[in-house]
Structure 1
């Protein structure tokens, strides 16, 4: 089979012929059909990110859509021929307080994840992927959607996990910081699907929010951030008609805390703030305000299998459409061009690598 192989020591990437992986107990072989690309794939392959890379030469790539070709001993619910989504977030299934965890094909997460990276180093940018069965999600009942379209699930499931962790309830108002970004834009649509009465979409560029307002049909209200946290908090509260129940921060690599603090101060008493962005500076917490308002601050990473299953249920029910995302696809051998396109993605866009069937 063919696979993209990345040499970490030399920082080189090449499409190579390689033996198909052997079937292992508790794992499955998946013939890949579509793989979404992260916007920072090129930076990752240049070694510019502070990640714990898998050892040696490995296949990068995180999420993906494919069909199972074989399942190993001990796999109970999956079957050959079944279409599945690959979820790279692998947590060791052991009854300990803090099991090790990694993102397959990308990075270790916990300090004790080296063994997991060595056991499953290869990601999804290969014709046949070898993955733990616990990282698969069944796509039964979604046959009307192409694998290219289903690859967009990766854009939704990350913020979806954060919204559920924040306990967003139908009828509540949520403010989303970074709404014009890759994951933030998906968070807006996911919040609508979960029944939010209003979604306050925060951003700095009006054109990045325009499509979200259109899709919201009166339930999405834009707020352009000024950089003054007090003024921005007041603008959010005015748009919400009072404080918001849930604030959701999805800004990547923020160089200051102004917009996140505006989110916090926009909360009504008893409100929750979920942090899922990647701010590069400390967040100064107003201790007294936290106490007097009973605010809840929640740091959250990724999502659970239950979150992913809930997302799939919304799509099956027609409550969330993947068609609102603009998908640009590239053939599997054209990964270099795909990475360049992914680096330029904005808002409701996605870049997908397609495999020949």
Structure 2
């Protein structure tokens, strides 16, 4: 099969023929219709992000595709089913604390690397191999809509955070990083789940205005000035009442005070979800005041990705029309132009923009 292979960090992808995956029990073989190219893919491929990814490998993080074949343990999946290939692979021999690898992207520790060595390749290829439980049926779709359905992968990340913090209809949410790709998706997901109001801070006034234009008065924007105390007060005043939940999705380049300012807007007994990248590339930690956490009874949730059942809930929101996947502006590339897709994704990383490879086009 044809695939885009990363031979070494800092080198371009090589488009070449590689052996097709060999399916075993507990696995599903999928023909890849569409797969996202994340905005920071160039940082992963250059080695800047220092992700655990053994090379050479076919990269690629999740996909929309059609089942080609299933193993003997599959009782519902069948050839021809449209599926979302969930890239979060978990070891099956410890359900309490499983090892995790993100397919074709990054592993968590030595156990995650062992998983990665088996499920060696990602989705920048004509076919991909996933554990049976990672092929999530999405129902029948028009093949032309497969690129738009890739937005599931973007929306699932904040959805996992909201599930962990048990977001309830009618609550007020602050999304820190709302002007970014994952952050803007978080605004859409929170509203789809019934949030009464989403406070959206940021420095890009155009993007903030676009969020209000897209979602209406349930979004309250805040232009940040850079002073931690002033920004915190400005965010609190923007909310119609106490802020019940703060979701942080800031990238590694953001400073600690910017993140702390948003987190400490949450009300007493409120919840904070940390899903961003602060400290991943060195530098100071978050440094939240112990007395504030304790006396205000703040719950802090560290969340990486989302639980296995999350995809089904998000598909239901999309099928019900509560979450619009068609609001994403999609630019597609064929596999031969994978390097162009990586460059395009880096240069076009705004809200509701998505770069997609179509390996079988």
What TM bracket, shorter-length normalisation?
A: over 0.9
Please give the alpha-carbon distance, in whole angstroms, between the structure 1 residues aligned to 2:294 and 2:98.
32
In the TM superposition, what whole-angstrom CA distance separates every residue of 1:210-256 from its partner, at most 9, and x where no partner exists?
22111221100100111222211211111113320001111101442
5 Å matches for 1:226-305? 226-280=225-279, 281-305=284-308
In the TM superposition, what whole-angstrom CA distance separates every residue of 1:289-308 from its partner, at most 9, and x where no partner exists?
22221111111110012211
RMSD: 1.7
Asked if the contact 1:338–1:352 (Cα under 8 Å) also holds between the matched residues in 2, the reply is: yes
Shift in Å, 1:143: 4.8
Q: Which moved more, 1:45-54 or 1:28-37?
A: 45-54
Please give the alpha-carbon distance, in whole angstroms, between the structure 2 residues aligned to 1:181 and 1:311.
20
In the TM superposition, what whole-angstrom CA distance separates every residue of 1:272-311 from its partner, at most 9, and x where no partner exists?
1111110133111112122221111111110012211110
Please give the alpha-carbon distance, in whole angstroms, between the structure 2 residues aligned to 1:296 and 1:351.
35
- 1:316 equivalent in alignment to 2:323: no
Structure 1 unaligned regions, length at least 5: none
Match of 1:85 in 2: 84
Shift in Å, 1:355: 3.1
Q: Kindly tell me: are residues 131 and 319 of structure 1, through their superposed partners in 2, closer, same or farther at Cα, counting changes over 3 Å?
A: same
Q: Secondary structure at the match of 1:66?
A: strand
Match of 2:167 in 1: 168
Aligned length: 356
5 Å matches for 1:87-166? 87-95=86-94, 97-143=96-142, 146-166=145-165
Q: Kindly tell me: are residues 9 and 239 of structure 1, through their superposed partners in 2, closer, same or farther at Cα, counting changes over 3 Å?
A: closer
Shift in Å, 1:323: 1.3
Please give the alpha-carbon distance, in whole angstroms, between the structure 1 residues aligned to 2:38 and 2:175.
21
Please give the alpha-carbon distance, in whole angstroms, between the structure 1 residues aligned to 2:177 and 2:3.
34
Please give the alpha-carbon distance, in whole angstroms, between the structure 1 residues aligned to 2:253 and 2:123.
29
Greater RCO structure (CA 8 Å; 6+ sep): 2
Asked if the contact 1:141–1:316 (Cα under 8 Å) also holds between the matched residues in 2, the reply is: no
